[in-house]
Amino acid sequence: MDVKRVKDYLYWLYYQYQLVTCSYVLEPWEQSMFHTITVTVLAMVVYTAYVFVPIHIRLALQFFSQIFGSRPEGAV
């Protein structure tokens, strides 16, 4: 891939992000605060999903396997 095309595409994505969030109208210090808060919230959401979603899926599978009549794990 051409480096210039990748750079242009990333710039275009950032421009779209600014248009969607209306952050292009903010002053530079406001933009940095907004981006910091946005990245922090996004990181917390990703971390929470990574840690807790597998646990909830496992518990849901156990719950539904008991409801729909499969044998308990200790029964032979």
Dihedral angle sign, alpha carbons of residues 9, 14, 17, 22: negative
The parent domain of residue 40 ranges over: 3-69
Q: Please list, in sequence order, all residues whose beta carbon lies within 8 angstroms of the beta carbon of residue 21, skipping any fewer than 6 positions away.
A: 34, 38
pTM summary value: 0.63
Q: Do residues 11 and 5 make contact, with C-beta atoms less than 8 angstroms apart?
A: no
Q: Flag whether 20 is in a domain.
A: yes
Instruction: Name the stretches of the chain with pLDDT < 70.
Output: 1, 70-76
CA 58-59-63 angle, to 5 degrees, is 120
Q: Flag whether 38 is in a domain.
A: yes
Q: Flag whether 52 is in a domain.
A: yes
Q: Flag whether 76 is in a domain.
A: no
Q: Flag whether 74 is in a domain.
A: no
Dihedral angle sign, alpha carbons of residues 37, 40, 43, 45: negative
- Number of domains making up the chain: 1
Q: Dump pLDDT digits (tens) for 35-49.
A: 999 999 999 999 999
The two structure tokens encoding residue 75: 């029964």
